[in-house]
Amino acid sequence: MLRQPLDLSATLGPLRRGGGDPAVRRVGVGPWATWWWATRTPAGTALMSLQHLPSGGPHGAVRAAAWGAGADCAVAGVPELLGEDQDGSAFVPRAEHAALVSAWRRHRGVRVPRTRAVFEALAGAAIEQVVTGVEAHRAWRDLLRRFGEVAPGGLHDAGPVGPSAPGGPAEGMRVPPTAREWAAIPSWEWLRAGVEERRRRVVVGASRCAPALERTVLLPPERVEPALRTLPGVGVWTAAEVRHRAHGDPDAFSFADYHVAKNVSYALTGQVLDDAGCAEVIECYRGHRYRVQRLLELDGIARPRRAARMTLPTHVPVATGMRS
């Protein structure tokens, strides 16, 4: 039984890296869709399903089931995953920010997920550095399909028709590789997936200290970003992408992104501002700056575009000023 409103799809949506993500899948549409998540826990791999049910209290309830060695661990983490322990009462949009007020009223059930899977989140974020979302999602999908582990819940895990068995709702899902397995992927296989050497080095470098990365979930929020940024190739953007997935940090605003600061500043002020300008505007929401970003994203608010959309690159240059 839930203690506060929940929009399951809006909450779990940031975990899915494109519609074809082999590790995260939504089955069905609307508020009662079922979400499937294949991940690694301290106890082993797990495949979990989550569905928001309308019964079970004023805000409904979530039905969770899991398969694999890490099933019990995954189910025990559901309240934290869905932000049941979060207190968003301190977040109140200012009246002069009408677009944010409107988004907040429409999406009161959105929360910031906390997966605790730090290295998993960092590997995905590193692959998304510099390039467009389409290219990054394609690379993630390709690498997981070829090097990820088949999700548990198949014939030997859940009877004759398990969720990941042929014809099941989780057929074809993959658990992301372990840190050691990421590091062992040959360099030419990364290139085949469209990931150049610079981004590969970020993932491989992080794999060498994966246990320490997982321990960052125990740190106070203000110490997490400095800890993550000690890794070569991890800048403010990558750290934020990890923090608002693995750590459940509602303040992990995506500075250094090509679009986010411009879109948020336009939504709040009608002006397109850079990171520094946007930081001044949203300073009044410190502690909840990612919450501001997510609410406006859900409402689809973006600055007007006066030029053609960015095309997919045929190569990835190493340049200053690009997100990391």
- Is pLDDT of 113 > 90? yes
Confidence of residue 305 (pLDDT cuts 50, 70, 90): confident
Residue type, 137: H
**Reported pTM:** 0.91
Measure the CA dihedral 15/17/21/27, to 10°. 50
Question: What is the structure's pLDDT at 86?
Answer: 83
> Per-residue pLDDT tens for 193-204?
999 999 999 999
Q: Which domains does the chain have, with CATH numbers?
A: 118-155+174-246 (1.10.340.30)
Contact indicator for 291, 297 with CB cutoff of 8 Å: no
What proportion of the chain, given as a percentage, has pLDDT over 90? 81
Euclidean distance between CA atoms 47 and 65, whole angstroms = 8
β-strand partners of 40: 45
Kindly report the number of other CB atoms within 10 A of residue 219's CB atom.
Answer: 14
DSSP helix/strand/coil, 61: strand
Euclidean distance between CA atoms 262 and 44, whole angstroms = 41
Identify the weakest region by mean pLDDT among 46-50, 54-58, 79-83: 54-58
Euclidean distance between CA atoms 178 and 23, whole angstroms = 13
DSSP helix/strand/coil, 37: strand
What proportion of the chain, given as a percentage, has pLDDT over 70? 92
Question: What is the structure's pLDDT at 120?
Answer: 98
- Is pLDDT of 15 > 60? yes
The residue written with tokens 């969770």 in the block is 64
Q: List Cα–Cα distances, 36 to 9, 66, 129, 278, in angstroms.
A: 11, 9, 25, 35
> Per-residue pLDDT tens for 20-46?
999 999 999 877 899 999 999 999 999
The residue written with tokens 């290139």 in the block is 191
Q: 24-57: b or e for each residue (b if 16 or more CB lie within 10 Å)?
A: bbbeeeeeeebbbbbbbbeeebbbbbbbbeeeee
Identify the weakest region by mean pLDDT among 16-20, 51-55, 207-211, 225-229: 51-55
Contact indicator for 128, 7 with CB cutoff of 8 Å: no
Confidence of residue 313 (pLDDT cuts 50, 70, 90): very low
> Per-residue pLDDT tens for 157-185?
656 568 999 899 999 999 999 999 999 99
Confidence of residue 107 (pLDDT cuts 50, 70, 90): very high
Mean pLDDT, rounded, of the chain: 92
Stated as kind and residue range, the H or E segment containing 297 is helix 289-298
Contact indicator for 24, 35 with CB cutoff of 8 Å: yes
Question: What is the structure's pLDDT at 319?
Answer: 39
Residue type, 199: R
User: Under 8 Å CB-to-CB from 303, ≥6 apart: which residues?
Assistant: 262, 263, 266, 272
- Is pLDDT of 81 > 70? yes
Q: Closest by alpha carbon to 17, among 119, 103, 108, 134?
A: 134
What DSSP string describes 174-185?
EEPPPHHHHHHS
β-strand partners of 175: 149
- Is pLDDT of 311 > 60? no
Q: List Cα–Cα distances, 180 to 88, 184, 186, 206, 216, in angstroms.
A: 38, 6, 12, 10, 19
- Is pLDDT of 306 > 70? no
Strand order in the sheet with 44-53: 24-27, 34-41, 44-53, 61-67
The tally of CA atoms less than 13 A away on the side-chain side of residue 251 is 14
Residue type, 78: V
Identify the weakest region by mean pLDDT among 78-87, 114-123, 133-142: 78-87
